[in-house]
Amino acid sequence: MIGVRSYVDGSIELRAKVTDKIGVVGFADAGNAFLETYPDFSEDLKVGVGAGLRYFTSLGPIRVDVAIPLDQGRDDPDYGIYIGLGQAF
């Protein structure tokens, strides 16, 4: 799908520090994008779950997450790897 007019997304995350510098996280994300101006809730939401590591620096945490789709669609990847700096939210 190229270009959308609306989307819905949400997530839940559980974070825990293992040491002063290392943390772990588990999460679940759900969402979808729609061609209509308002979300069409007759379409299923895409849901994925994952886990990650955090390394806490003075600039913010370095995040490395791995996620998999729960109901993989035909064109969906088997997994996703995400690397970032700072809090996700």
- Taking only the tens place, the pLDDT of each residue in 61-76 is 999 999 999 989 888 8
Neighbour tally for 29: CB within 10 Å: 19
CA distance 7 to 45: 10
* Percentage of the chain lying above the pLDDT 90 cut: 67
- In this prediction, residue 88 carries a pLDDT of 65
- In three-state secondary structure terms, 3 is coil
Residue 34, C-beta contacts closer than 8 angstroms, at least 6 positions apart: 4, 5, 6, 7, 8, 40, 43
- In this prediction, residue 68 carries a pLDDT of 97
Q: What is the pTM of this model?
A: 0.81
- In this prediction, residue 42 carries a pLDDT of 85
Beta bridge partners of 7: 33
